């Protein structure tokens, strides 16, 4: 598949739904097609290494950590045809403009991120990106309580659901979070 024109693709869903795995799959296909690829992630995401994307199942892809959306624009190289961005919910709202600029320059931008936070509320710039994208894929995990499709991320503190007023951003994986369906997602309010 040859690259033709700019576009935005968003891969959204809860934790453990396979967002990064799908992003890596699309990037690998672009690499096979000999397209010039650049991959970025927020600097604060150091769970699996500083300069790589990693899915929970172990798939990896080299990535450049950036502090903010503007830095991503500064690092975009001439001739790049595909830009991958992981964990986009952690970027400032300026990421929406940066992504539109890249797409308007003829770049295929593939974005992965959580569409809701642990409270079940829209998370960062992802809902806006979903509205602006040419393609949106919402992925689902498996509820850790009942085994049904899970669209929510349950944060746990000492094995118990986090309170609504707890901080939104705490970077972690299975020790802090579980995938849950609507029926089993709990966010107690004090």
Q: List the domains of the chain with CATH numbers.
A: 7-139 (3.40.50.300), 149-184 (3.30.60.20)
In the residue annotation, 87 being an active-site residue is answered as yes
Per residue in 24-83, pLDDT (tens digit) is 999 999 999 999 999 999 987 655 555 666 766 666 788 999 999 999 999 999 999 999
pLDDT value, residue 55: 65
**Model confidence pTM above 0.95:** no
What is residue 1's predicted lDDT score, i.e. its pLDDT?
A: 44
The answer on pLDDT for 89 being more than 90 is: yes
Q: Is the pLDDT of residue 170 over 90?
A: no
pLDDT at residue 19 greater than cutoff 70: yes
- Mean per-residue pLDDT of the chain: 90
Contact assessment for residue 26 and residue 9, using Cβ atoms and an 8 Å cutoff: yes
Looking at 9, 22, 87, 178, which residue is catalytic? 87
Question: Which residue is it, tokens 């968003």?
Answer: 10
Q: Work out the burial of residue 74: count CB atoms within 10 Å of its CB; fewer than 13 is exposed, 13-18 middle, 19 or more buried.
A: exposed
Sign of the dihedral defined by the CA atoms of residues 41, 46, 52, 56, in that order: negative
What is the pLDDT averaged over residues 170-182?
81
């Amino acid at each position: 598949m040859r690259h033709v024109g700019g576009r935005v693709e968003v891969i959204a869903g809860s934790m453990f739904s396979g967002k990064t795995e799908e992003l890596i799959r699309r990037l690998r296909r672009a690499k096979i097609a000999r397209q010039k690829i650049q991959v970025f992630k927020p600097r604060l995401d150091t769970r699996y290494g500083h300069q790589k994307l990693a899915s929970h199942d172990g798939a990896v892809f080299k990535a450049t950590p950036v502090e903010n959306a503007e830095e991503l624009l500064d690092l975009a190289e001439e001739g790049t045809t595909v830009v991958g961005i992981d964990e986009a919910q952690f970027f400032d709202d300026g990421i929406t403009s940066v992504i539109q600029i890249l797409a308007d320059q003829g770049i295929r931008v593939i974005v992965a991120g959580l569409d809701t936070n642990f409270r079940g509320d829209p998370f960062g710039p992802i809902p806006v990106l979903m509205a602006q994208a040419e393609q949106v894929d919402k992925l689902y995990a498996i509820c850790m309580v009942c085994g049904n499709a899970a669209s929510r991320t349950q944060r746990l503190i000492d094995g118990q659901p986090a309170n609504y007023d707890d901080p939104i951003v705490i970077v972690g994986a299975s020790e802090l979070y579980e995938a849950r369906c609507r029926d089993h997602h709990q966010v107690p309010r004090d």
